Homo-oligomer: A and B are copies of this chain.
Amino acid sequence: MNRTVMCSNLGIEKCSLRSHTCGELCWSHVDEEVTLCGWVQYLRQDLFVILRDFSGLVQILIPQDESKSELKNAFLGLTVESVIMVKGRVRRRPEGQENKKMSTGEIEVCAESMEVLNTCRKLPFEIKEFVKKSEVLRMQYRYLDLRSPRMQYNLRLRSQMVMKMREFLCNLHGFVDVETPTLFKRTPGGAKEFVVPTGDPGKFYSLPQSPQQFKQLLMVAGIDRYFQLARCYRDEGSKPDRQPEFTQVDIEISFVDQAGVMSLIEGLIHYSWPEDKGQMNVPFPSMTYEEAMRDYGVDKPDTRFGMKLVDVITAFQGTQIEFIKDALLKPGGCIQAICVPEGTVRTESVDSDSNVPTVYRLLSDTAKQQLLQMAQANAGDLIFITAGPLENVRPLLGKLRLQCAELLECYGVPVRDPSVFHFLWVVDFPLFLPKEDDPEMLESAHHPFTAPVPEDAHLLYTQPHKVRGQHYDLVLNGCEIGGGSIRIHNASQQLYILDTILKEDPSLLSHLLEALDSGAPPHGGIALGESVHEVLKRQQSK
């Protein structure tokens, strides 16, 4: 065997049958002997084979000389997507035959020999057409789907971005990559978990929803800075942005405050941001939960466009419109609006005068003026008005706002720049929310380990519903891509919240309570979801 040690200064091809990759060849290789391995992309005019590997395409010149008819025939007999090894010499393409669209378009390789490494049977579809095919077919022939440039780009982008994240955390900031178990005990509360039967009848492992408890215990263990690309499981069926198994960048830090975690994450994303996605600025803007709900009607606002919610009660002061009067009289009653620029011009439903909504026609001229001014509406804009309890009005207008943006984009009105990335922190969430099925009871807005905002801590004992949590969500273009918190490190505070406020059985978490009592440092962390990559991929596909 011909053995060469791979040292760090040797290139990619030292342990390969090839001497070069297809995509790297350029004029500087002219006159070099090369050995290439790859797939037959297509044959052209019986003269050329276009050869593909992960790095790109290169044109192979089939010899036309009579003495090489055997080699020529071998080339002409190739089926598309067959795997070959070609030896040949690089030459500059004849003048006028360069292909500017091809990165190797200045050169071609004159084949001197060729070996068929594997023959490809007839494929169900052409590779380049594949991404247009149905999801089911793409999944069935996943190995063909992944040959497309887009899928190759996606997989490589993910690998590189994750690697940069690891460098930042591990090499630059002293984080320890710790793998936590996935076959473990059930976590109380949270999502439905997959179970794994053991050999012991009636005994099951659970697959974890997240390593939340493990990472807190690692902080108690003095690891100081933990991270993991953690596989998580939720038995909740697949949705486009949620699958039964997914990976999160899981981080936990000791002796840190909320600002510290947020700064670290900004540094992390800044460091790992792909170059081809353009400039990204840090720090990210930050917004309270209350501001997000007030202005956007949602806790993960897409801040790439306006159409903010506005309170238009002034225009309806003393209104005689019955259903609005009624709505305003009820507890939390309000009247709010969003203004859709060019909304009447672009949508067909409200372009005739007869369709102008009744509410507007019922207003006095002064009120009309007030409304238009408050909504900052111009001619051709569309105003949606909603009256009702605040907790209904906000989410409703929030959804309407997003739907309008989508609708306008369908009509060709640019609303959101697809090349732009708006990162946003949302902070000051309530620590508890009324239970949906029993509004007298409280449940954790996120999870029961989130610490209260220090200045609100005394309210735990008197008005727990008013306590804000030290929770922070990271939002990108309207998608929640991460969430975290400073955790409770005091055993008695944790016990009080579990037992007295949430009415949960603290014995299920006795191991955690015991750990908090054994010298737990103040700590906090975050989990960044796969959705970062999802957002990148979505942007790219537009």
Residues of A within 8 A of B (CB): 1-8, 10, 12, 14-18, 37, 39, 52-54, 81-83, 85, 117-118, 120-121, 123, 141-147, 152, 155-156, 158-160, 162-163, 166-168, 170-179, 181-183, 194-197, 199, 205, 207, 217-218, 220-225, 229, 231, 233, 235, 237, 244-245, 247, 253-264, 266-268, 270-271, 282-283, 489-490, 515-522
Contact = CB atoms under 8 A, between A and B. Distances in A.
Stoichiometry, copies per complex: 2
A397 B528 CA distance: 55
Contacts of A143: 217-218, 220-221, 515, 518
B195 A177 contact: no
B168 A166 contact: no
16 contacts: A1-B259, A2-B259, A3-B283, A6-B267, A15-B259, A15-B264, A39-B222, A83-B519, A118-B519, A152-B223, A156-B176, A159-B177, A163-B170, A182-B182, A196-B196, A196-B207
Contact of A282 (B5, B14, B18): B5
A237 B222 CA distance: 30
Closest 8 CB pairs of A and B: A6-B267, A15-B260, A146-B221, A120-B519, A81-B519, A1-B259, A143-B220, A159-B177
A515 to B, nearest CB: 5
B5 A266 contact: yes
A264 B6 contact: yes
A195 B194 CA distance: 10
Contact of A183 (B82, B146, B244): B244
Given A146-B222, A231-B231, A39 B519 contact: yes
A256 B6 contact: no
Contacts of A162: 177
Contact of A182 (B4, B231, B237): B231
A14 B263 contact: yes
Contacts of A245: 181-183
Given A117-B522, A143-B221, A15 B156 contact: no
A224 to B, nearest CB: 4
Nearest to A146: B221
Contacts of A168: 8
A117 B489 contact: yes
Contact of A5 (B17, B152, B283): B283
A102 to B, nearest CB: 18
A175 B283 CA distance: 32
A419 to B, nearest CB: 23
A518 B118 CA distance: 9
